[in-house]
Chain A
């Protein structure tokens, strides 16, 4: 009880200065979230779910000062891709820098916009609430209660181009809470691109509901800032024959916790969630994934690769829960770390919990150094050592990047990785 009290006390301090919107369509969901949050309190490092990642800087009253990174040596990711661009600067929507939010087959509004949004009211905080069991995720509930903005996107057809969310970080004390809702109606298809650190400290939630036969693609990069901290949640629910594919590239960042909570509610759906993380020095990256199979013949894949050096820390907590009756489930999970020196750490907790008797589930987790035999083989063919190392690191990441269906987007991500490796060579 003392521990819960401490978590509730921490919460009271944290939210004392935050404003809970009491009007508008999201108000009831926000009030409900606050009630749930108050019962839980904020996470503490003594929680099992936060065993490998200390949440203190994510729950502290004020964010840790984080200097924004100035791009100078390369174009921002996704620059050359035809897309609809929506820009947030330190969490504040920048209409001048954004495209007109008009796209055939897609409705785009903002969380802060007035007026009622029936479909969003049925989604906002709903998947987040479902995702609170069996594991509590207080930072997501806090997000639902206090989010200041976000986009509400509803796809009713096949979107002609991706919607690109850009999160610029300019203030070194910005503390941002964003909440997006994405609804993919039956048979519709949409790609969401996200890029940028967003703030000194970011708490972001994305709820994604994919109706029957709908397709959702998500490719995210989290910027090049070294000092920023972020906790993000993706809550997804898939109806029959739906497709969900999410890929995240994290290069740099002091602390990142990316959670993905995916639920199969209809038969024959597919969900792939993948991540590539590269860290050098003060870098703590945590992928926490929870996939619930509650329908038949669904396929889930979790592919997470981390490249770590100079004391960087990688965490993976991944779970596949197969409920009774979810027969013919095909679940796959792989988490691997490539340690470029002896100072780095990889902490992995893969879990399977299966209550159906006719399923295929496999998981693996490895950590290791660069393969010396392969390195020598490449060198013996004339490839210089550093280039050979980069080639092997990219090869290591290939399985995760292969989860991006669109080849031009995948190429763009690959180039980012190559550039990162070049910048961090031999340090």
Chain B
């Protein structure tokens, strides 16, 4: 599904190298988690994959189902099936949440050569999916993420994911700022989307999220590289001992 090969990335504006050779292969239907200390490059990886400006790829490649990701515009990556659930979802005053969702869904359908959803069909689908995430009609009417609580913003991200039905979902610290109940709700939303054709890359600081979204693989990222890969037990080890021991072992 997603193949990242020896990816090197620096900041465009300054000579700061952030990713120093990331290699990662994600098969269809699998769930990978990336953990790592602050500043290790986890969020940068998610931004570079989804096409955010301000970064320069100096070496390496990334492809989604064989298509070169790094050459595409962000919207093309989305239409190809990539989705990033933001760590900090952006507030867009003046754009209604429902309008935003419908515009996004139909833009992707159009890019893929499919017919746009009618207003009625769209509404039916969005209502069902919003209900499962406890997103009420009022939240759909409000401007995108404006005045939403931390939990509401993250639920809104998962709703977008559910509506857009991407193949490759990247969740960037989706658990940050969530209370226990909200985390459960969000995890249920994610788990409902798990299937043989859809893969996940879950970026998190805490093992707790991985109790809810069970990964097949756990990677530890440090200083711009993946330094260790294992099963779910690796996350437990981090939770118990922190990163210091692990990193000392690697170096």
Interface residues of B in 9-57 (CB under 8 A from A): 50-53
* A395-B95 contact in complex given A379-B78, A383-B104, C-beta closer than 8 Å: yes
Q: Which of A75-83, A241-249, A368-376 contacts B (4 or more CB under 8 A)?
A: A368-376
- Residue A380 lies at the interface, judged by CB distance under 8 Å to chain B: yes
Interface residues of B in 94-109 (CB under 8 A from A): 94-95, 100, 103-105, 107-108
Interface residues of A in 394-418 (CB under 8 A from B): 394-399
> Which residue of chain A has its CB nearest to the CB of B89?
A377
Cβ-defined partner of B107 (8 Å) among A371, A373, A374, A384: A384
Q: Is the CB–CB distance between B93 and A379 below 8 Å?
A: no
Sort chain A's interface into a size bin.
20 to 34
Closest Cβ of chain B to A151, distance in Å, is: 36
- A399 to B94, alpha carbons, bound, how many Å? 8
- Residue B164 lies at the interface, judged by CB distance under 8 Å to chain A: yes
Q: Is the CB–CB distance between A380 and B94 below 8 Å?
A: no
- Residue B86 lies at the interface, judged by CB distance under 8 Å to chain A: yes
> Which residue of chain A has its CB nearest to the CB of B108?
A382
Cβ-defined partner of B75 (8 Å) among A372, A383, A395, A399: A383
Taking CB atoms, residues of chain B closer than 8 Å to A396 are 94
Cβ-defined partner of A392 (8 Å) among B75, B84, B95, B104: B95
Q: Is the CB–CB distance between A381 and B78 below 8 Å?
A: yes
* A380-B92 contact in complex given A372-B53, A387-B107, C-beta closer than 8 Å: no
* A380-B103 contact in complex given A373-B90, A398-B94, A399-B94, C-beta closer than 8 Å: no
- Residue B74 lies at the interface, judged by CB distance under 8 Å to chain A: yes
Q: Is the CB–CB distance between B108 and A380 below 8 Å?
A: no
Q: Is the CB–CB distance between B107 and A394 below 8 Å?
A: no
Q: Is the CB–CB distance between B104 and A376 below 8 Å?
A: no
Closest Cβ of chain B to A198, distance in Å, is: 31
Q: Is the CB–CB distance between B78 and A382 below 8 Å?
A: yes
- Residue B160 lies at the interface, judged by CB distance under 8 Å to chain A: yes
Q: Is the CB–CB distance between A383 and B84 below 8 Å?
A: no
- Residue A385 lies at the interface, judged by CB distance under 8 Å to chain B: yes
Prevailing SS type, chain A contact patch: helix
Taking CB atoms, residues of chain B closer than 8 Å to A394 are 94-95
Taking CB atoms, residues of chain B closer than 8 Å to A385 are 73, 75
Taking CB atoms, residues of chain A closer than 8 Å to B226 are none
- Residue A361 lies at the interface, judged by CB distance under 8 Å to chain B: no
* A381-B164 contact in complex given A387-B107, A398-B94, C-beta closer than 8 Å: yes
- Residue A67 lies at the interface, judged by CB distance under 8 Å to chain B: no
Taking CB atoms, residues of chain A closer than 8 Å to B93 are 395
Closest Cβ of chain A to B108, distance in Å, is: 4
Closest Cβ of chain A to B142, distance in Å, is: 13
- Residue B79 lies at the interface, judged by CB distance under 8 Å to chain A: yes
Interface residues of B in 135-159 (CB under 8 A from A): 143
- A373 to B160, alpha carbons, bound, how many Å? 17
Taking CB atoms, residues of chain A closer than 8 Å to B100 are 378, 381, 391
* A383-B103 contact in complex given A373-B90, A377-B90, C-beta closer than 8 Å: yes
> Which residue of chain B has its CB nearest to the CB of A379?
B74
> Which residue of chain B has its CB nearest to the CB of A401?
B94
Given contacts A380-B51, A381-B104, 9 further A-B contacts (CB under 8 A): A371-B92, A377-B92, A378-B103, A379-B51, A379-B78, A381-B78, A382-B108, A383-B104, A383-B107
6 contacts between A and B (CB under 8 A): A371-B92, A380-B52, A380-B77, A381-B108, A383-B103, A385-B75
